[in-house]
Amino acid sequence: MGKIIAFGEMLMCLSSQGHSRLKQTKSLDIDFGGAEANVAVSLAQFGEKVSFVTRLPENDMADRAMMSLKSFGVEVDHVQWGGDRLGLYYFENGAVYRGSKVIYDRTNSSMYTIKPGEINWQEVFKGASWFHWTGITPALSENAYLVTLEALQAAREMGLTISGDYNYRNNLWQWGKSAEEVMPELLSYCDIMSGVHPDVDVVQEKVGDEQFRLAGNEMMARYPHCKLVVFTSRGSVSASHNTWQGILYDGIEVFRSAAYNLTHIVDRVGTGDSFMAALIYGLRNYESKQEAVEFATAASTIKHFILGDQNVCTVAEAEALMKGNKNGLISR
């Protein structure tokens, strides 16, 4: 199995501590995130060989972003240096009726000002067999969209498996075109993609396999390359209490993981990314799609109880939850 390539923006996350609001905190904890970097970090911790491609400015804070990736074992040989700033966001963690809050300050980051042709994708994809991207990158700027397109074309030509996460963010897409205009072309390159969850409140009502099948078939009809549609089914009781289940549809069968009752959530940010990372690992390392979705849901369940964007979690920890006892005994 070849290397995995992930491409996207890396962000510095500045968060208030514990339950403090951004308006109250005296200091901000530093962490790093970004949907695609989260996937890369998770996969590297699972033991996969991963290279993360992004563009960063030359300063100490971007050096720290690199140091963070390297500490997890993510390869950074193809990172481009240039541009003016590291994108960042401020984060406060919510509780029950006070939702979590993200304030972005990412405009004009080095990824916004990346230029087509700057990345030699043929070089990047040498020895690689998988490419992962999300809808956040083309949302940043026209250039970021064009570089994503370059990457997808090269990946397709060179025969990599392509996974894409739609990851729609309303407050992005300011550069002139809408997601609706841009995404279909990009998604048409994907082998695996996140699906649009049936419009059902899963706390109130159980979603049947048939509904996922319908949604999946619609995707597959629209994007003929697509071989697997991925759903995460979240029921939101409150900011502190969710339910969680993963679903795969391969055009034939619907695979549902165990459903988890997430009663005292620690940090929800990055849980979708942790699911996607663990699914990629699962599809590459287990024999069945059922095991893959079980692993993805177990690993991303654990992420809900870990601070920060990244799922600081090993294969052994996720498998222990996936396979066994689910009542959180002390390990000593």
CA–CA separation, 85 and 79 (whole Å): 15
Rule CB under 8 A: choose which of 77, 199, 324, 332 binds a copy of itself. 332
**The pairing of beta strand 50-53 with beta strand 3-7:** parallel
Least separation, in Å, of the C-beta of 289 and a copy of itself?
A: 22
Residue 82 in contact with a copy of itself, rule: CB under 8 A = no
Segment 251-270, which members bind a copy of itself (CB under 8 A)?
260, 262-269
Rule CB under 8 A: choose which of 211, 238, 243, 285 binds a copy of itself. 238
Phi-psi region of 100 (alpha: psi -120 to 50; beta: other; left: phi over 0): beta
List of residues 6+ apart from 139 with CB closer than 8 A: 145, 169, 172, 173, 175, 179
Residue 306 in contact with a copy of itself, rule: CB under 8 A = yes
Least separation, in Å, of the C-beta of 223 and a copy of itself?
A: 27
Quick check: 247 and 293 in contact, CB under 8 A?
Answer: yes
Residue 143 in contact with a copy of itself, rule: CB under 8 A = no
Least separation, in Å, of the C-beta of 319 and a copy of itself?
A: 13
Q: What is the DSSP letter of 95?
A: B
CA–CA separation, 76 and 66 (whole Å): 7
List of residues 6+ apart from 128 with CB closer than 8 A: 2, 3, 4, 5, 51, 158, 160
Least separation, in Å, of the C-beta of 330 and a copy of itself?
A: 4
- Specify the residue, 108 or 211, whose C-beta has the smaller distance to a copy of itself: 108
Residue 23 in contact with a copy of itself, rule: CB under 8 A = yes
Segment 158-217, which members bind a copy of itself (CB under 8 A)?
169, 171, 203
Residue 51, φ and ψ in degrees, nearest 5? -120, 135
Segment 107-126, which members bind a copy of itself (CB under 8 A)?
107-108
- Specify the residue, 101 or 225, whose C-beta has the smaller distance to a copy of itself: 101
To 10 degrees, what angle do helices 271-285 and 35-45 make?
40
Residue 127 in contact with a copy of itself, rule: CB under 8 A = no
Least separation, in Å, of the C-beta of 65 and a copy of itself?
A: 11
Residue 61 in contact with a copy of itself, rule: CB under 8 A = yes
Least separation, in Å, of the C-beta of 118 and a copy of itself?
A: 21
Query: CB under 8 A: which stretch of 95-103, 126-134, 245-253, 283-291 binds a copy of itself?
Result: 95-103
Residue 47 in contact with a copy of itself, rule: CB under 8 A = no
CA distances from 158 to 2, 5, 121, 179, 285 (A): 12, 13, 10, 26, 22
Rule CB under 8 A: choose which of 99, 158, 177, 259 binds a copy of itself. 99
Q: Which structure tokens are listed for 65?
A: 């972003």
Count of residues that bind a copy of itself according to CB under 8 A: 80
Q: Which amino acid is at 59?
A: N
**Neighbour count for residue 322 (Cβ, 10 Å):** 22
Least separation, in Å, of the C-beta of 144 and a copy of itself?
A: 17
Quick check: 286 and 319 in contact, CB under 8 A?
Answer: no
CA–CA separation, 57 and 80 (whole Å): 8
Least separation, in Å, of the C-beta of 218 and a copy of itself?
A: 25
Residue 105 in contact with a copy of itself, rule: CB under 8 A = yes
